[in-house]
Amino acid sequence: MGTKKTILVPTDFSEVARYALQHAIRVSGVVGEPVCILHLVPDASSKQEADTKMSNLVAFVKEKYGIEPQTIVKQGSYYTDIASTADEINASMVIMGSTTIKQMDKSKVSWVLKVITSCRVPFITIQEPPVNKRYDDIVFPVDFTIQNREKHEWISYFSDYYLSRFHIIKPNTSDPEQMAKIDMNLASAKKFLEDKGAKYVEYVVPGVKKYEEEVLEMAVNIRADLIIIMTTPTDKDGKYAVDPEEQYILAHAGHIPVMSINPR
10-residue averages of pLDDT along the chain (264 residues): 80 94 94 96 94 97 96 92 95 86 54 81 91 87 66 77 88 87 85 87 92 93 91 57 67 88 73
Same domain, yes or no, for 150 and 88?
no
Please tell me the predicted confidence (pLDDT) of residue 101.
47
Same domain, yes or no, for 141 and 224?
yes
Residue where a domain terminates, one of 48, 76, 97: 97
Do 254 and 128 form a contact (C-beta atoms < 8 A)?
A: yes
Same domain, yes or no, for 179 and 83?
no
Establish if 33 belongs to a structural domain.
yes
Same domain, yes or no, for 211 and 149?
yes
Please tell me the predicted confidence (pLDDT) of residue 41.
95
The H-or-E segment that residue 125 falls in is strand 123-126
Establish if 59 belongs to a structural domain.
yes
Establish if 219 belongs to a structural domain.
yes
Same domain, yes or no, for 151 and 255?
yes
**CA-CA distances (angstroms) from residue 172 to 46, 69, 224, 239?**
51, 45, 21, 27
Residue where a domain terminates, one of 97, 124, 151: 97
Residue where a domain terminates, one of 40, 69, 97: 97
φ, ψ of residue 38 in degrees (nearest 5): -115, 130
Do 144 and 237 form a contact (C-beta atoms < 8 A)?
A: no
Establish if 17 belongs to a structural domain.
yes
Establish if 108 belongs to a structural domain.
no
Range of the domain at 195: 137-261
Establish if 74 belongs to a structural domain.
yes
The H-or-E segment that residue 167 falls in is strand 165-170
Please tell me the predicted confidence (pLDDT) of residue 109.
58
**Cβ count near 198 (within 10 Å):** 19
Same domain, yes or no, for 251 and 148?
yes
**CA-CA distances (angstroms) from residue 60 to 22, 57, 63?**
12, 5, 5
Same domain, yes or no, for 92 and 144?
no
Same domain, yes or no, for 253 and 147?
yes
Same domain, yes or no, for 143 and 251?
yes
CA distance 17 to 21: 6
Same domain, yes or no, for 249 and 142?
yes
User: 2, exposed or middle or buried, with CB in 10 Å at 0-12, 13-18, 19+?
Assistant: exposed
Establish if 123 belongs to a structural domain.
no
User: 263, exposed or middle or buried, with CB in 10 Å at 0-12, 13-18, 19+?
Assistant: middle
CATH number of the domain that residue 221 is part of: 3.40.50.620
CA distance 73 to 94: 16
Q: Nearest CA to 250 among 96, 21, 22?
A: 96
DSSP states of 59-101: HHHHHHHS---EEEEEE--HHHHHHHHHHHTTEEEEEEE---G
Establish if 117 belongs to a structural domain.
no
b/e per residue 99-121 (b: at least 16 CB within 10 A): eebeebeeeebbebbebbbbbeb
Same domain, yes or no, for 213 and 141?
yes
Same domain, yes or no, for 87 and 13?
yes
Do 250 and 258 form a contact (C-beta atoms < 8 A)?
A: yes
Please tell me the predicted confidence (pLDDT) of residue 19.
95
What domain count does the chain have?
2
